[in-house]
Structure 1
Amino acid sequence: MGNFTDTNYSTNDTVCLIDHRIHQTWFPVVYVFVFVVGFPANCLSLYYGYLQIKVKNELGIYLCNLTMADLLYIFSLPFWLQYVLQHDNWTYNELMCKICGILLYENIYISIEFLCCISVDRYLAVVHPFRFHKLRTMKAAIFVSVAIWAKEFLTSCFFFEHGEVSKDPENHVVCFEHYPIKPWEHSIHYYRFFAGFLFPIFLLLFSYCRILRVVRKSHGTQLKTKLQIKQLVLSTVIIFLVCFGPYHVLMMVRSLFEKTCVFAATVFNVYHFSLSLTSFNCIADPVLYCFASESTYKDFVTIKNCCLRFSRCSKIDRQESVEMSTPEIVRHSDAQAEKETAVLNKQQARHSLILNSQFYV
């Protein structure tokens, strides 16, 4: 393990010699996969978000902003791909390095904040449908979105005022690679962990726990709808933790314990593997949106049914079509349906309307 000092790029800074092979093996696969899958998926999500905005649904504002953050990061992937394929040698200027770095971190924290906005909006819609209706308007969603983008942009400008390129012992120009961690990075990492991850995950968990409690107590909501909501909530939390949790934990580990090149080399692979997981958020967001949107979900069911018919699976197709189009109450006998009507009409007017029209996009 060696140290290196280069006065042209980073004065009086020690740079560690670290094995970057994970960048040439794992990261190209991740970047290509995320670009090929994430670009069309996010374009489709952007279109459906636009349709929601046309019908004055404030969730469309949050979803479009979430998708734009993903697309901006996807546009930077060719630059990162070239960087890792050239053995971590940045061939562009420092300004381009800062722009790509901003897009990387903007995707992480803007995605987190808009996921929280969506969860809080659903919480207000389901738990307090009439009390906070003024907070669930198009104007409020636009104001919150502008505030989030402005906050993250100003934060990035403040954080990235330091030099972001340096030379390693192999004479490669590295971008956003500081090993061991620099003193000025500690405060940035603490802010990102507590304000950018821990507080949002608390909001998200609180909102969805309250939503699940209301759904569980709702007697007028169909069992199928309850199951869909529970699956969506669980998927959102799992994806949030998998995509962003490991990276923030390893970031704090580095901030607390990384003081030598030996420790930096020890955690390098696992830290960068956790960083690569954040890229999969660009794919997870559109997938979640498809399950969160009732109309989009039906579109995918229609496409699936067409494929089944094409492959001569008409019998299966007819079965699934009946299940998707026939409510559970209709499948009861007429006598039983008449007995349940009096009870269902009272609670379904409130619970089903809220859970189907407000929880879903």
Structure 2
Amino acid sequence: MSQINCTDPEAKFQYHLFPTVYILALVVGLPGNLAALFVYAVRIKSRTAFSVYISNLAMADIVILCTLPFRIHYHLHKNNWVFGDFACLVTGTLYFANIYMSICFMTCICVDRYMAAVHPHTYLRMRSPKCSLVVSVGLWCFGGAAILIFILMGPLESGDDSSGHSCFENFAQREWNERLRMYSIVSLVFGSLLPSIIILVCYPLAAKRISMIGTKTAQKAVRVIYTILAITILCFLPNHVVYLLHLLQRLEVIQSCSIRGSIYNARRVTMALVTLNTCLDPVLYYMTTSYFRWEHLKRTRLWGMVSRRRGVYTISVT
């Protein structure tokens, strides 16, 4: 049976799930991310690659959070969009694009910490914040160009609006064939699967190397790594897996209507979990605030230890 003949279930639980998660994200995530952006971008004068990536991660989360009031209204009114096609296009594009931007900046933090722990000599040559600024600007330029092109292509046509005016879901098959297919494949590969593989491989390697040091600072660094891994596994990984299934469904590789219904329901849950990431990121910011308090100690004492004892490295990995 072709998926075209299937109809999505109503999934009434989403009318309560999404508003609850979005309101929680606004109450907890918005103040936390604004505070992190202020601290890491304004208060801290000594720039590092870590502080640059953290600032950009907070900015991406803030953009996501600013779109949530529209989505709260949408789901409270049983997925009926009343703000017009252009507002739907802009808020929807910003919401999903910045989810991928969040994942990319978390991946940048992962690579930076991995290099610091596993390849310290190379990291010492590359740890200038200029490199992280170039990477960040490049990511924002790429994301901004993709957002602009998508918006300029005009509103998305929905398939079945019998129960209300849909926004960024229930796309017509023509929209999928002509516009969304390539965006979805590129987003899945470069915005979901590749970053997840990098995080899930690099962070355990970094944690293994740091755990050999045995100091309290190293233990704290390992806790930070496990926190990021937990955020990735809880918030992002389920969404990536379900999105892959959703893509296979749209490509008609999966044609069963019952499986389609299960994927639709699972996608509601995993999309809520992705937004929950904006609440958990401030926990990461809080755990890493001491990074800058012992940065001076690292430079004066720990780096001296590196120079005196060949082959022994004490690297900041918070």
Q: What range describes the TM-score normalised by the shorter chain of this pair?
A: 0.7 to 0.9
Match of 2:52 among 47, 61, 86: 61
Equivalent pairs: percent with the same residue? Answer: 27
Match of 1:156 among 142, 147, 155: 147
Task: Say if 1:128 and 1:266 are closer, same or farther in 2 by CA, change over 3 A.
Answer: closer
AA of the residue aligned to 1:150:
C
Match of 1:210 among 205, 214, 239: 205
After TM superposition, give the deviation of residue 273 of structure 1 in Å. 0.7
Match of 1:183 among 162, 177, 180: 177
Match of 1:231 among 218, 223, 226: 223
Q: Report the equivalent of 1:242.
A: 234
Match of 2:164 among 159, 172, 175: 172
Calculate the TM-score normalised by the size of structure 1. 0.73
After TM superposition, give the deviation of residue 136 of structure 1 in Å. 2.1
Task: Say if 1:167 and 1:128 are closer, same or farther in 2 by CA, change over 3 A.
Answer: closer
Q: Aligned partners of 1:244 and 1:148: how far apart in 2?
A: 19
1:265-276 map, 5 Å: 265-276=261-272
Structure 1 unpaired stretches of 5+: 1-12, 299-342
Calculate the TM-score normalised by the size of structure 2. 0.82
The answer as to whether partners of 2:22 and 2:72 remain within 8 angstroms in 1 is: yes
Summarize deviations over 1:235-294 as a string: whole Å, max 9, x none: 211211211111121111122135569354343221111111100110111111211232
The answer as to whether partners of 1:159 and 1:188 remain within 8 angstroms in 2 is: no
Match of 2:194 among 196, 199, 204: 199
Q: Aligned partners of 2:70 and 2:5: how far apart in 1?
A: 26
* DSSP-derived class of the 1:131 partner: helix
**Alignment root-mean-square deviation, CA:** 3.1
Summarize deviations over 1:151-171 as a string: whole Å, max 9, x none: 122233445536425363535
How many equivalent residue pairs? 298
Query: Which consecutive aligned stretches of 4+ in structure 1 deviate over 6 angstroms post-superposition?
Result: none
Q: Aligned partners of 2:263 and 2:197: how far apart in 1?
A: 27
Question: Which structure would you say has the larger Rg?
Answer: 1
The structure where strand makes up a greater share of residues is 1
Match of 2:34 among 24, 40, 43: 43
Q: Aligned partners of 1:186 and 1:176: how far apart in 2?
A: 14
After TM superposition, give the deviation of residue 148 of structure 1 in Å. 0.5
> Does residue 32 of the first structure (1) align with residue 19 of the second (2)?
no
The answer as to whether partners of 2:64 and 2:99 remain within 8 angstroms in 1 is: no
Q: Report the equivalent of 2:302.
A: none
AA of the residue aligned to 1:189:
S
* DSSP-derived class of the 1:213 partner: helix
Summarize deviations over 1:300-358 as a string: whole Å, max 9, x none: xxxxxxxxxxxxxxxxxxxxxxxxxxxxxxxxxxxxxxxxxxx9995599644x2xxx3
After TM superposition, give the deviation of residue 142 of structure 1 in Å. 1.3
After TM superposition, give the deviation of residue 66 of structure 1 in Å. 0.5
Q: Aligned partners of 2:123 and 2:306: how far apart in 1?
A: 26
AA of the residue aligned to 2:166:
V
Bigger shift: residues 122-131 or 244-253: 122-131
* DSSP-derived class of the 2:158 partner: strand
Q: Aligned partners of 2:244 and 2:172: how far apart in 1?
A: 14
* DSSP-derived class of the 2:166 partner: strand
The answer as to whether partners of 1:42 and 1:67 remain within 8 angstroms in 2 is: yes
